[in-house]
Structures are given as C-alpha cells and as structure tokens.
Amino acid sequence: MKLPQTRLQTRHKSRNQRIQAGAIALSVSILFCSKADAFSFYRIADTSITSGFSSISPGLSTPWGTSDWGTQILNRQDIGSAFQNQMGLAFNSKGQVAYFAQLKTGGTALVLYDPKSKQNINIAITGSEFSSFNPGISLNENGEVAFSAVDKKGITSIKVGNPKTTGFKTIADTTGNFSSFAPGLSINDSGTVAFWGNSSKYGDKYKDVYIGNGNGNLTNVSKCSPPVGPVQILTPSNGIECPVNAQRPSINNKGEVAFVGDNGVFKWDAGIIYKIMSDPYTYKNGSYHDPNINDLGRVSYGAWRNVSYNSANLLTSDGNTNYLIAGNTLPLHSIGRSASINNQGEMAFIGEPWTGYRDGQGYGIFSGMPDYMSPTYGGDSQKALADMLKRDKVIAVGDPLLNSTVVALSMDRESRNDQDQITFWAKLANGIQGIFRADPSPGDSQWNPLMPTSGTTGKNGTLWSFINTPGRVWFDPIPAEGFNFKMTSDSLFTEIMNFPANFTKPFLVKVKDILLGEFTAGDKVKFSDYSYELADLLKDGFGVQEFTISGISVDPSSPTAFPIKLDFSTETASFDMIAILSKTETTPSDGHRPNFDGNEEEVPEPTTMLGTLLFGAIAAKIKRQRALAKKAAN
C-alpha cells in the first residue's frame, strides 16, 4: 500500500471583475438574467404559481448551524426550518441539473433540467415504483442520474436512471448482502457508481465503500470487511483507512475513488489505496468528511483541527501537498459541508462571516477566502472580509434575486461544473423556492479570462501588457512555449493561484534561475513558501517582481491558449507578459472552443493572433464580448 507524505500550505483564491448585464427574457424554465456582483443568475425551476412544484428540496451543503456538526448555536431554529427535506442537487458541464421537487399534484419527483429543450423532465416519481427517495444524487455528463430509493415492498436500492429510458439500472439493494446505505453516492461517465454500504446482517464490521455498474458484481474499495457474496475482494485490509465512515464517496472518470475513514482521507486507484491526509496531531480522528475527487485526482475534503473550539477546515490535495481553501478563521466564522470542486480545481462552498452568523444573516456561497494576513490586508480582517464579499461572493442571504430577497441558500458537491457555472438552491422572502444557475463574468473562469490591455512585438519577442488589473483572476495571452511575468507597477506577484487544465505536461516555474518545481491544474505557488530557495529574490517576505513559466505543451483540444490565475500584493497591479514563442504554433485542431451553453464558437487562427498584437488583443477581447452578448441574447 502506498501512503505518501503530505504537507500543508495555506492559500487564498477568489474572483473578480464585473460585467453589466440587463434583464433578459428567455424561454420556458430559464426566464430571467439579472446583474449581480460578478455573476449573472438564471432560473432553472421554482415554485411560482405557473410551475408544477409545491416545494423544491435544498442541496446537502448548508450553513454551519444546520450542517450536522454535532453542535448547535443560539438562534438557529429559524435557519434549520429553511432546510427541511434536504435531498441534494447535481450539475454537469452540459448544463443539466438534477434535483428533487414535491409536485402540486402529489408525490415527489426526481427531476432533470435539460438546457437544450429548456424542459424539466421527471426521471422518477413516488407512487409508482417507489414509495420514497433517500438524500443524495449524482449526475454524469451523459445525463445519467444515480439515486437511492425505497420501493413499495420496503426494499432500499441504488438506481441509475436517465430521461431517454423508462427503466432503471440497479447497482445494489437490500435484498442481498446489504442492510443499509449511507446518504449520497457518486457516478462517473462510464456509469460506475460509488457508495457506502452496511452489511450489518453479517456483523457490525461489514461496512465498506463499493463500486459497481449494474452487472451484478461489486468491488469492495476500502476492503475493511471480510468477503461477502459476489463482492470482489480477497482479504480484508485492516489498514489505517479502516474503519470507513458512513459518508458518500466520490468517483472520477479515471475510476479513482475518494473516501474517508476515522483516521483520514484516502484514494483508491486500481486496487491500491493511497493516503490523501491522515494527521492525528493536526486534525481530529473521525472529523474527516465530504471527499470529492476531480478527474485530475485532486481531492477536496473537510476536517476539524485538534483544538477545543470550532475549527473546521476545507482543503484540497493531490496526495502530496494539502492546500487550505477556507476555514473557520477570519474573515469567516464557519464553513458548511459538501464543497464543490471542478476539474480545474476551482471551488464553491457555503461560508458564514462573523458578522451576522448568530441570526443566520450574511452567509453565502463563495469561491474562495482571502488570507487576511497577506500584505494586501496586513492583518485587517474587516478589510479582508469586505474584499471577500466583493470578489469571492457568488450570492448571499440578503441579496436581491427574482424581484425578491434571498433568505436561505444551499448547494452541493456537484454544484460547480467545468464551465465555472454554479448551481444552487434558494428560498426567497416572497416564499418562492427555486434552483438557480450563476454564470461567471470575464476573469472569473479559465474559459473566459481577461485579455491583455495592449501588446507590442519586437525582435526580442512578444510582450503583452495588463494595466491596472485586479488580482485573483484569470489572464490569457497568446500561445507560446513559456512566459516571463514582470511587474511594471509598485506591486509584487504573491501567488500563482491556479494553472490551466487540458495541458498534457506539467509547467516549470522559475524565479530568475531558481526552479521552484513542476505544477499542474489545481496547484498553487505561494512565493513566500519558498523563502529559503529565493533568498533576496523574495521581496518584503511575500512576493517577487518577476517569474517565468515554461514547459508549455499546447493541447490541440485546449479551448484557450494559456490562461493563468494570479494574485498581487496590492488590490490592482500592472505587469507585462513576455512570450517565449514556440517554433510552430498550434491551436485546437477543429478551430473551435466550447462556450457556456455547451455549443461551440470559432476562435481566431494563430496567424491572426500573432500578426498585429495590439489589434489581435483588441479583436479577441471584442470577439469574446460579442460571444457573451450573443449567448445572453439567446
């Protein structure tokens, strides 16, 4: 068994840049688009008079006081009442959304929203085959929905359904070895489902994580129990991954499975179990929860620190380095469960600032949390909070939505897709409940980055200039073998917050001649963590004036050239990116890139982008703005 060591790094990641968006009428279930701070909001379904739903079930991620932390605080009864009948929701990169709704005609439906037809389609309904549904659903890119239900005979089963067929595939049920299942499950694009099962009819020790695709055979992933029935396992493991907690695991498209035990977070890959995090000196045994693995093998999870006070942390890890995303520390009081991570390593989670947490006001959905001890804030937590509400907030209680005001919010671990759209549940002051989608603005996504302000070319290479741009956003220059980033204003580069996905090889990061290492999508480079290596090159203890990224191997299917997410020591900064041009330029082989609707839009030929740089930058920027406007008009 391979159990690599881990190290912990803190990070802060966020969003920025605003876009004006007016009210736009769309068809059927998507009826409006309104301007928010950094997102545009679209309605998927609601309980208005014209809908067929009397109520819509929230997702499984809620504020701290309703997140089953085992501790309740004062004045939270009103918050808890907002989250009755939590059942979950799921979202894929094609824009499909799965959720549960109570019908005005009676019964509960498992519903799939289809963005192409703009229709909400019932996958399963109580009263026919099923008497009730259990919490937790998962949705893959093929529109297949995995769920758990109880039939009229009292048999609990894990099923897979889709809108193209009327029948259901059975993954496991309680007629055989299993007596119960943990709430929630996970399905990948191959149709393989991961779940936690309890075979207590054979003894209390028969509790494990399993995978299956409906062919009658199951594979025991955690291997903490002796073999039972058709389950494929030879000998029990009895490793540090045992005992396994009764929580939903997560499976990616490589077939890797993330799960939690009392002693930590673990990843199963082709029969081998790897340690993601197991640190009893830092985190409480039994506190690890909500594992979520993306296609790059990066796992997000939560854990409680070994202190006497409320100390939940949200982290990500590739199995070697653990990054702190957010936690119950300034400027936040607390974070919710079931955070979402996409294949770019971008996050979404429920957070509650210190102001208003006791009366349930002010909590919201965020994409990151700034480090209030960074040079940008100098330890001023209120300044960091103000910046977090401005840049990181997706939506919060008290915000306007659908001609009313948000009074409750929830999301789930499949809420953020690879287009950086975020789906959530909201309850409004006028009594309406609904499922909504938040679309990012320029700079908020790898697929919609900020373009250069200007560009020049000369015998020494190509130079792109970004002038007075905010930090913690995505920037996109032209294709090249590498880039030298050089600050031109009174600021410093403090962190590379993320690298682009869809590249086949890791990137090399250097400061002058000092190699900091190889990095891929989801990794972060906080320059202050390399103080020993950088010595005098690290200015004021936290940033550098320039750095170089090389080893860029352009993937022909990549939808963008080389977007990158950066942060500075000041709120805004100006810098140049000098391209190290490749001998041969490559672009997507079909000349297209996906847009937010799952369709395609043309991209400029490389000769256009490399010709007159100033015109190329402006043309690309205008093209993207037109594409966004065209999408909104549709």
Q: Tens of pLDDT along 593-611? A: 333 333 333 323 222 222 2
pLDDT at 579: 77
Return the CATH class of domain 7-440.
Answer: mainly beta
Residue 552 phi/psi, 5-degree rounding, is: -80, 115
The pLDDT-based confidence of 453 (bands split at 50, 70, 90) is: low
pLDDT in tens, 423-438: 999 999 999 999 999 9
pLDDT at 319 exceeding the cut of 80: yes
pLDDT in tens, 367-380: 888 777 777 777 88
The least confident of 122-136, 243-257, 521-535, 581-595 is: 581-595
User: What is the rounded distance in angstroms from the CA atom of residue 144 to the CA atom of residue 126?
Assistant: 19
pLDDT at 368: 84
User: What is the rounded distance in angstroms from the CA atom of residue 515 to the CA atom of residue 517?
Assistant: 6
When pLDDT is averaged across residues 218-237 and rounded to a whole number, the result is: 66
User: What is the rounded distance in angstroms from the CA atom of residue 119 to the CA atom of residue 504?
Assistant: 37
The least confident of 14-23, 294-303, 557-566 is: 14-23
When pLDDT is averaged across residues 363-369 and rounded to a whole number, the result is: 88
User: What is the rounded distance in angstroms from the CA atom of residue 283 to the CA atom of residue 302?
Assistant: 10
pLDDT at 189: 98
What the block records as the tokens of 103 is 């019908």
Q: What percent of the chain has pLDDT over 90?
A: 44
* Nearest residue to 356 via CA among 396, 409, 312, 401: 396
pLDDT at 523 exceeding the cut of 80: yes
The pLDDT-based confidence of 461 (bands split at 50, 70, 90) is: low
Q: Any residues with CB less than 8 A from the CB of 464 and at least 6 apart, and which?
A: 452, 454, 455, 477, 478, 576, 577, 578, 579, 613, 617
pLDDT in tens, 156-198: 999 999 988 878 999 999 998 888 999 999 999 999 999 999 8
The pLDDT-based confidence of 128 (bands split at 50, 70, 90) is: confident
pLDDT at 594: 34
SS3 627: helix
pLDDT at 102: 96
pLDDT at 566 exceeding the cut of 60: yes
The pLDDT-based confidence of 27 (bands split at 50, 70, 90) is: very low
pLDDT in tens, 51-86: 999 999 999 987 765 544 333 333 333 444 455 678
Mean pLDDT, all residues of the chain = 77
User: What is the rounded distance in angstroms from the CA atom of residue 99 to the CA atom of residue 140?
Assistant: 13
Torsion angle (degrees, nearest 10) of CA 368, 255, 563, 91: -60
Rg of the chain, C-alpha, whole Å: 24
pLDDT at 159: 97
Residue with tokens 């020993």: 532
User: What is the rounded distance in angstroms from the CA atom of residue 600 to the CA atom of residue 188?
Assistant: 24
When pLDDT is averaged across residues 519-528 and rounded to a whole number, the result is: 90
pLDDT at 214: 92
Cis upstream peptide for 331 (omega within 30°): yes
The pLDDT-based confidence of 553 (bands split at 50, 70, 90) is: low
Pick the residue with more confidence: 330 or 494?
494
What's the pTM value of the predicted model, to 2 decimals?
0.73
pLDDT at 310: 64
Provide the residue ranges of all domains of the chain, joining segments of one domain with +: 7-440, 454-633
Neighbours of 179 (CB within 10 A): 14
The pLDDT-based confidence of 563 (bands split at 50, 70, 90) is: confident
When pLDDT is averaged across residues 500-507 and rounded to a whole number, the result is: 80
When pLDDT is averaged across residues 450-458 and rounded to a whole number, the result is: 67
pLDDT at 218: 92
pLDDT in tens, 387-425: 777 778 899 999 999 899 999 999 999 999 999 999 999
pLDDT at 632 exceeding the cut of 60: no
pLDDT at 98: 98
Helix (H) or strand (E) holding 558: none
Pick the residue with more confidence: 251 or 241?
251
* Percentages of the chain per state (helix, strand, coil), in multiples of 5: 10, 40, 50
Handedness of CA 193, 196, 199, 203 (dihedral sign): positive
Most confident of 66-70, 437-441, 463-467, 617-621: 437-441
pLDDT at 585: 40
